[in-house]
Copies of this chain bind each other. A is one copy, B any other.
Amino acid sequence: MVDQAETLRRTPLSRDRILRAAVALADAAGIESLSMRNLAQDLGVAPMALYKHVSNKDELLDAMIDLVVAEIDPPAPGAGWKQSVRGRILSARQALRRHPWAPLAVESRNMATPGLLAYLDSVVGTLRAGGFSADLAHHVMHAMGSRVLGFSQELFDTARDTGRSGAAADQPSADMPPEMAARFPHLAEIARAAAHDDGSVVGPGCDDQFEFEFALDLLLDGVERLHRQGWTSAHRPG
């Protein structure tokens, strides 16, 4: 046991150890706590030791993103394009839920990582195998946007926008405080509608998974319709 710990301690740094520690740090403490200095401290090493294995922080973030993308399940064999794409996107969403820092990290980088490109290439391949023209597949990928990676793309967290700070965060309520409900009556109304929804709501607020699948199916159903109608950029059905 002591030998093993001793071995670990004197194991030279490796890119792999650095990446795992970085993901663990971001998972546990948030992306804003991921500094080269904090990461080095977690690894029991001087900050500059990291630079032998990653060229800078941007490259570290890219590699972390690829670790998350690698968690997405491969396509289910034998499924049609729709179920295959749907399944992968829901799998991507689960991966993102394990790494809540990932969406902001992906959006702040402006270059696609190799792992991300491989995932996207494979999704396009599924569409092409399902009979989509290259033209339609292209527009569909744009229309899916970051949702293809499982992003839910909410503008803010509906459950905890009730006050200026964390006062209500302990027990978020779908009902707004009166002064906000008066200023934003329609938002208050749909928040109440969500709270009184059928069994889909377990706790307070609305069901993220339901909302995500609602949006995903809205897109996929629309895409299927265009595909069946033989959509081309020259001929758009009204």
List the interface of chain A (C-beta within 8 A of B). 103-104, 106-112, 114, 116-118, 120-122, 124-125, 128, 133-135, 137-139, 141-143, 145-149, 151-157, 160-161, 164, 180, 183-187, 189-194, 197-198, 200, 206, 211, 214-215, 218-219, 221-223, 226, 233-234
Closest Cβ–Cβ distance, residue A113 to chain B (whole Å): 9
> What residues on B are CB-neighbors of A142 within 8 Å?
154, 206, 211, 214-215
State the majority secondary structure of interface residues on A. Answer: helix
Q: How many copies does the complex hold?
A: 2
Q: Which one of B139, B148, B154 lies within 8 Å of A211 (CB-CB)?
A: B139
Closest Cβ–Cβ distance, residue A74 to chain B (whole Å): 15
Q: Which one of B125, B155, B192 lies within 8 Å of A186 (CB-CB)?
A: B125
Tell me if B154 and A121 are in contact (CB < 8 A): no
29 contacts between A and B (CB under 8 A): A110-B157, A112-B156, A117-B161, A117-B180, A118-B183, A118-B184, A120-B155, A121-B185, A121-B187, A122-B186, A124-B189, A128-B186, A135-B190, A135-B194, A137-B190, A138-B194, A141-B190, A142-B206, A142-B214, A143-B211, A145-B147, A145-B153, A146-B155, A147-B153, A153-B153, A197-B233, A200-B233, A218-B222, A219-B222
